[in-house]
Chains A and B, each alone.
Chain A
Amino acid sequence: MTVSFFILAALTIAGTVAAMSLRNLVHCILALTLGFAGLAALYLQLGAQFVGFTQILVYVGAVAILAMFAIMMTQRAGAVAQPASSSSRTRGWITGGMTAGAVFAVLAWAIHASAALPQTLPPQALPSQPDAGVRAIGNALMHGFVLPLEIMGLLLTAALIGAVLVAMQEKQEMP
């Protein structure tokens, strides 16, 4: 429980809240990259270096840029969302916010009431920094997790072909 954890958690939460609430879509994606970077720093603080850098590569580098491209291709530059009728809009925000708040309340209650979690962990009971270097991860991937790795390669290939097929320009119909 350190100061850096609170700073990183606040950064992540602020970035994601801004990403979900700003009006300008480009600003949303920029705030989202901030949230993803904060999350990667949280992973690094947990001792998972490989996952942290993978998060930066995949989310900050690929997913956010992909979403930015999609927004640039579907919107006029700098456009903000068209305001719908304000009463239905407010009703939507209230309903969605209340649902999310209820889900968070249940989750927080479950975390605090759970008997399985150690509520007060003495400092010396913390497990020592486990070896999660790239060498250990590579050994695990090549020994115990070979089959999931192969299935993941198949899934990524199928997703690549599928995404290209779905987004491809439809052929002109013959008259």
Chain B
Amino acid sequence: MSSLTSYLLVSALLFSIGLAGALTRRNAILVLIGIELMLNAANLNFLAFWRYGPNPAALTGVMFAIFSISIAAAEAAVGLGIILAAHRHFKTTDVNQMNALKG
């Protein structure tokens, strides 16, 4: 088993953990954290393929990871803002009780 394969396996495991968390947790903040974990798994894949790819001098994987981290940070800020606004309206962060679009 090469190093690339083991990095990819860790990344797949991380993605599955994030998916399981996003599907099973009831708190909206933890659902958002699960989505962040899935994005992190993708970042690990970018870096592993960059490191073990044929042309690591091109730095493409590093650039992808940097931009992906920036997008994830923006997504976390906007997502938590939406959750706070929804909490002010519904008085809960349980996704099962937020079941109406109209206020």
B69: contacting residue among A12, A54, A163, CB under 8 A: A54
**Contact, CB under 8 Å: A103 / B67:** no
**Contact, CB under 8 Å: A167 / B81:** yes
**Contact, CB under 8 Å: A20 / B25:** yes
Interface residues on A, range: 35 or more
Main secondary structure of the interface of B (DSSP, over half): helix
CA gap between A88 and B16 in the complex, in Å: 22
- Across the interface, which residues of A come within 8 angstroms of B72, CB to CB? 58, 63
- Across the interface, which residues of B come within 8 angstroms of A145, CB to CB? 63
Q: At the interface, yes or no: A34 with Cβ under 8 Å from chain B?
A: no
**Contact, CB under 8 Å: B24 / A70:** no
Q: At the interface, yes or no: A107 with Cβ under 8 Å from chain B?
A: yes
**Contact, CB under 8 Å: A74 / B62:** no
**Contact, CB under 8 Å: A152 / B67:** yes
- Given A46-B47, A117-B4, are A70 and B77 also a contact pair (CB < 8 Å)? no
CA gap between A16 and B19 in the complex, in Å: 11
Q: At the interface, yes or no: B100 with Cβ under 8 Å from chain A?
A: no
**Contact, CB under 8 Å: B30 / A16:** no
**Contact, CB under 8 Å: B51 / A127:** yes
Interface residues on B, range: 35 or more
CA gap between A148 and B65 in the complex, in Å: 13
- Across the interface, which residues of A come within 8 angstroms of B44, CB to CB? 39, 42-43
**Contact, CB under 8 Å: B12 / A104:** yes
CA gap between A15 and B71 in the complex, in Å: 23
Q: At the interface, yes or no: B85 with Cβ under 8 Å from chain A?
A: yes
**Contact, CB under 8 Å: B83 / A120:** no
CA gap between A103 and B12 in the complex, in Å: 9
CA gap between A5 and B9 in the complex, in Å: 12
Q: At the interface, yes or no: A130 with Cβ under 8 Å from chain B?
A: yes
Closest to B16 in A: A104
**Contact, CB under 8 Å: A95 / B29:** no
**Contact, CB under 8 Å: B17 / A166:** no
**Contact, CB under 8 Å: B7 / A46:** yes
Q: At the interface, yes or no: A9 with Cβ under 8 Å from chain B?
A: yes
Instruction: Name 12 A/B residue pairs within 8 A (Cβ), A-sorted.
Output: A16-B17, A19-B30, A48-B61, A51-B65, A70-B29, A99-B19, A107-B15, A117-B4, A119-B1, A120-B2, A140-B59, A167-B82
